[in-house]
Amino acid sequence: MDNRQAIGSWLSGPRAAAEEAGADFGYRGEQLGLPESGPGSIARPGRRLGALAVDWGLCLLIAYGLITDGYGQATGNWALAVFFVVSVLTVGTLGFTPGKRLFGLRVLALDTGTVNPLRALLRTALLCVALPALIWDRDGRGLHDRLARTVEVRI
């Protein structure tokens, strides 16, 4: 192996190197029995981040307009509290937040299909901590989804 191949495999990551060696990882969601594309497939990170940005923006507006007297540290703290309440209520009842609905996403429980309020509470609490949402598995599910036994799919 020359230097270019060694550097190329290092830059592309361990998954690419393993695939070059013959490992078959399949597509995202295959292990969960989800389709590769279209409705019911695993939501892509771009859509998920877009939905999160919309939800956070709405929560900031609510905190700024209804709760605090101006923008400051308290507004961010209240926005997080509003985000927590909105996410638990909407994901636990409807399966999506306003941002997720706008981006065509839905949260499903792996075993029953519908997310009960306790799973929504666990998922949202871990999402608000942020670190579990940044640790993904090979299907693109965050640690918050794995622990709550949920998956975010396209609708």
Q: What is the pLDDT of residue 140?
A: 85
Q: Are residues 12 and 73 in the same domain?
A: no
Q: Are residues 97 and 125 in the same domain?
A: yes
Q: What is the pLDDT of residue 80?
A: 94
The closest alpha carbon to 105, from 114, 95, 115, belongs to: 95
Q: What is the pLDDT along the chain (155 residues), one digit of tens a residue?
A: 556 555 555 566 666 666 666 566 678 888 888 898 889 899 999 999 999 999 999 999 999 888 767 777 788 889 999 999 999 999 999 999 999 999 999 999 999 889 999 999 999 999 999 888 888 888 889 999 999 999 999 99
Q: Are residues 68 and 20 in the same domain?
A: no
Q: Are residues 146 and 82 in the same domain?
A: yes
Q: Are residues 54 and 11 in the same domain?
A: no
This prediction's pTM = 0.80
Cα–Cα dist 130/15, whole Å:
25
Q: Are residues 5 and 39 in the same domain?
A: no
Q: Are residues 99 and 39 in the same domain?
A: yes
Number of domains in the chain: 2
Range of the domain at 69: 31-154
